[in-house]
Amino acid sequence: MAPLSSMLLFAFCFFFFHSSAGKVSPDAHRLTVELADLLPSAACNRRSVQAQISGGRTQSSLEVIHRHGPCGDGNSKAPTAAELFVQDQARVDFIHSKFSGDFKSIDRLRPSKATKIPAKSGATIGSGNYIVNVALGTPKKYLSLIFDTGSDLTWTQCAPCARYCYSQKDPVFAPSQSTTYSNITCSSPICSQLESGTGNQPGCSAAKSCIYGIQYGDQSFSVGYFAKETLTLTPTDVISNFLFGCGQNNRGLFGSAAGLIGLGQDKISIVKQTAQKYGQIFSYCLPKTSSSTGYLAFGGSGGGGGALKYTPITKAHGVANFYGVDIVGMKVGGIQIPISASVFSTSGAIIDSGTVITRLPPDAYSALKSAFQKGMTKYPKAPELSILDTCYDLSKYTSVEIPKVDFLFKGGTVLELDGTGILYGASTTQVCLAFAGNLDPSSVAIIGNVQQKTMQVVYDVGGGKIGFGYNGC
């Protein structure tokens, strides 16, 4: 009897362990990534935003799409990875110049002189790759706008495009056809708020209308009338007297988007303008692939489904409008990488929706890279791709096992990145670690949008904290 029962027990245990071993990854510190999720796809998988945002949150939710993906505008040509990274570096250089204080108010942006700025073909912006649809005016006109946590002013191209409008997907907004539009006058105290939100002193037209000017990098800017208008986020979320830029001279590659929504922390940002209504809380989820959709939501607790892990919003070395976070370390494959605590405290860090690839202090990047390479030895290497120097030829695989990468934030918050937030695929023969190093150890680190994919990111600006949740979309 005894031998039989122990044999049964053995058989049972064997079966049990055998079957569970088949489901659970043998190494909890590695992730399986499907190659198809890293590469561009031709079809748009639009899912219901309503379904994603259910769960009793009282908030206004907008669908987020990748502007170069198949859910975006099929007419606008997607840049190559190398072009995209040149744009991304221009944005990063611009952010770094703001932090290092050598950012100057640019007089050439005055409307009278603005035509001197060449609009290079292929000139770029890097003001973010994700867009939402909102409506402006009475009656409502729909506009697709890039959303950007790294800037404050919301603007759209406006008729009559006195100097220049680039071509956009939606009809250009025409203030003369709206019953709720009005200009801000130069003497209004609101006009003088522009300087902190745009980095430029306001101008004044002959008819005493307040003029804004904002630039985002080498080649891109918008100049026009600072105005008030009714903004409709959803049919039930209508904001009257919303301050925005009515752009009469707009250049740079904003793709086919009609303009930009500024989600920064300055007084003129949409977050502060709607503080009464939404309590200075917004959240988004950036989709896993460029062919799926995410959301941008205003208000609510940001609670959603899963539990959120928070880290405080910091001042990011004094550049107040950016969302600073305190990174204290990183893990690769479950093991903290060897970098001294001062590396991240010297650089400081921000989280940005518009920067594509995360930038790390040079020492942090080299430690990350060597730890990651040790976990990838079974995969053949590939040439570097612009700013990405750790690439693999994965053309023989449909899925790969890679080391997990985690950010460690002040307060003990650990953030595990999704596989699509660790690798960037240009093609199956060139899939790269999606991080880059800054040149200067004192340049601010930036958590970019690739790393934020699939996460619910909640900006509780009033509460001074940012929350992260998994599987947000």
Active site positions, annotated? 148, 352
Name the token pair of 299. 């208000």
205 binds ligand NAG (CB under 6 A): yes
What are the φ/ψ torsions at residue 444 (nearest 5 degrees)?
A: -65, 140
- Report residue 102: phi and psi, to 5°: -95, 20
365 binding ligand NAG? (CB under 6 A): no
**For the chain, what percentages of helix, strand and coil (3-state, to nearest 5) are there?**
20, 35, 45
| 265: Cβ contacts below 8 Å, ≥ 6 apart | 152, 271, 272, 320, 321, 322, 323, 461
Q: Which is nearer to ligand NAG, 174 or 319 (CB)?
A: 174
Work out how close the CB of 229 gets to ligand NAG at its nearest, in angstroms, rounded to a whole number.
10
Q: Is residue 188 involved in binding ligand NAG (CB under 6 A)?
A: no
225 binds ligand NAG (CB under 6 A): yes
For 420, the 3-state DSSP assignment is helix
Select the span of 47-55, 123-131, 181-189, 375-383 touching ligand NAG (CB under 6 A).
181-189
175 is an interface residue for ligand NAG by CB under 6 A = yes
User: Is residue 137 a contact residue for ligand NAG (CB under 6 A)?
Assistant: no
Site size toward ligand NAG (CB under 6 A) is 8
CB of 167 to ligand NAG, least distance (A): 23
424: left (phi over 0), alpha (psi -120 to 50) or beta: beta
Other CB atoms within 10 A of residue 13 CB: 10
* Residue 248 interacting with ligand NAG (CB under 6 A): no
Residue from the set 56, 207, 341, 378 that interacts with ligand NAG by CB under 6 A:
207
User: Which position's Cβ is nearest ligand NAG?
Assistant: 207
Q: Closest CB to ligand NAG among 209 and 413?
A: 209
| DSSP secondary structure letter of residue 78 | P
Q: Which residue has the tokens 């990183």?
A: 330
Scanning 12-20, 79-87, 204-212, 463-471 for contacts with ligand NAG by CB under 6 A, the matching segment is: 204-212
Which of 89, 144, 183, 220: binder of ligand NAG (CB under 6 A)? 183
Q: Does 181 bind ligand NAG (CB under 6 A)?
A: yes
What is 146-206 written as a DSSP string? EEETT----EEEBTT-SSB----SSPPB-GGG-SS-EEPBTTSHHHHTHHHHHSS--EE-T
User: Is 264 strand, coil or helix?
Assistant: coil
Q: How many residues does the chain have?
A: 473
C-beta of 183: minimal distance to ligand NAG in Å? 4
Closer to ligand NAG by CB, 231 or 400: give it. 231
* Least distance (Å) between residue 251 CB and ligand NAG: 20
What is the bridge-based pairing of β-strands 237-251 and 155-157? parallel
What's the min distance (Å) between Cβ of 133 and ligand NAG? 25
Q: Rule CB under 6 A: is residue 112 a binding residue for ligand NAG? A: no
At closest approach, how far in Å is the CB of 195 from ligand NAG? Answer: 20
Measured distance CA(423)–CA(372) in Å, rounded = 11
Q: At 134, which helix (H) or strand (E)?
A: strand 130-136
Identify which of residues 151 and 183 has a Cβ nearer to ligand NAG in the complex. Answer: 183
Cβ closest to ligand NAG, residue 89 vs residue 209: 209
**Which spans of this chain sit near ligand NAG (rule: CB under 6 A)?**
175, 181-183, 205, 207, 209, 225
